[in-house]
Amino acid sequence: MFNEIYELVTGPLAWIGWGIFLLGSVYKLASLWSLAKKKDTSSIYYTKAKFGLRSIAQWSLPFGTLGWRETPSVTVVTFVFHICLILVPIFLSAHVILWEEWFGVSIPALPNHVADVMTLLVIAGGTFFAWRRFSVPEVAFVTSGHDWFVLGVVVAPFLTGFLAYHQIFNYEVMIVLHVITGIAWLALIPFTRLSHMLVSWYSRAYIGSEFQGVRHCKDW
């Protein structure tokens, strides 16, 4: 029974998940681009690579902008959270083995204890964000069900992955949950607020160009 379920989630379901993620992302970007060409031509016109990259570089710097300086706790957590969130799924040793076994791609792996700490940091970061959604008035006021759902989707694969790795609770159940939540995480990127991963590079570059290019003023 387990073998069938495992094969289903790591086989067809995973392909579907990756397919939705990749095709959905292409669709999202393409449809936004064609809409922008129709309705936001001035925005496209003013967007310049030089200013855009400058803006992205500046905002990639912790405490490099006024916004990052004003709420230091959020800045630290945001950076740590996102760095771990991206590195762990790619470079976790268990995943590196799968990249090799399934796709013949071999990449270096994070030491297990490092990946373990990074996973805990993602969970801790998610907990911090959840705390903000509950207790910080300006965040609570604007938080809707969607935000909770997205936060849950993002943290779930890390939580289940952590429990599976340490074989806490039933391993078989946990590993299947881990695969399912991981796939959901991928597949939902193009269709939720997680799409900021895809498009915010451009909105950042655009506003950076508006400020530096048109308004002669830094946007950080």
Partner 1 sequence: MKKPVFDRKIEDIGLETGTSRLTPEKIQETIQNVLASETGAKLKVYHDTCVRCGLCSKACHYYVSHDGDPTYSPVGKVVQTMAVMIDKKGKVDADFIYRAAQIAYTECNLCRRCIHYCPLGIDTGYIMSMVRRICHKLGVTPQYIQDTAHSHSATMNQMWVKDDEWIDSLLWQEEEARDEFPDMRIPLDKEGADIMYSVIAPEPKFRTHLIYQAGAIMHEAGADWTMPTLHGWDNSDMAMFSGDFEIMGRLKRDHFERAQKLKVNRIVMGECGHAFRSVYDQGNRWLGWADYPVEVVHSVEYFADLLRTGKIKMAQKVKGPITIQDPCNIIRGRGLMEDLRYVAHAIADEVIEMTPSLEHNYCCAAGGGVINCGPPFKNVRVNGNKAKADQLRRVKEQGVDLCLCPCHNCHGGLEDIIHSNELGIDLKFIGDIIYANMVKTKAVEE
Partner 2 sequence: MKKIIPALLAMVLVLVFMLPAFGQEDIVELKDPAFTAPKRPAAVFKHDEHNELAQIDDCTPCHHEDVDEEGQFIEGDPDYKCADCHTVEKGNGTPLQLAYHKMCIDCHTEKKAGPVACGQCHVK
217 binds partner 1 (CB under 8 A): yes
Which amino acid would we find at residue 163? Answer: L
**206 close to 47: Cβ distance less than 8 angstroms:** yes
Q: Which does 217 bind (CB under 5 to 8 A by kind): partner 1, partner 2, none?
A: partner 1
CA torsion sign for 163, 168, 169, 174 is positive
Q: Let me know: does 123 contact 105? Beta carbons within 8 Å.
A: no
170 binds, among partner 2, partner 1, none (CB under 5 to 8 A by kind): none
The CA distance from 185 to 202, in Å, is 22
Asked if 105 touches partner 1 (CB under 8 A), the answer is no
Residue (96 or 187) nearer to partner 2, CB: 96
> What's the CA gap between 74 and 80, in Å, rounded?
10
Nearest distance, CB of residue 160 and partner 1, angstroms: 23
For residue 188, give the nearest of 156, 159, 140 by alpha carbon: 156
Residue (of 14, 154, 169) closest to 84 by Cα position:
154
Q: Does residue 220 belong to the site contacting partner 1 (CB under 8 A)?
A: yes
Nearer to partner 1, 166 or 196 (CB): 196
**Site residues (vs partner 1, CB under 8 A):** 32-33, 35-36, 38-40, 42-43, 45-46, 55, 59, 65-68, 70-71, 74, 78, 132, 134-144, 147, 150, 193, 195-196, 199-200, 202-208, 210-211, 214-220
**Site residues (vs partner 2, CB under 8 A):** 3-4, 6-7, 93-94, 97, 100-101, 106, 112, 164-167, 171-172, 175
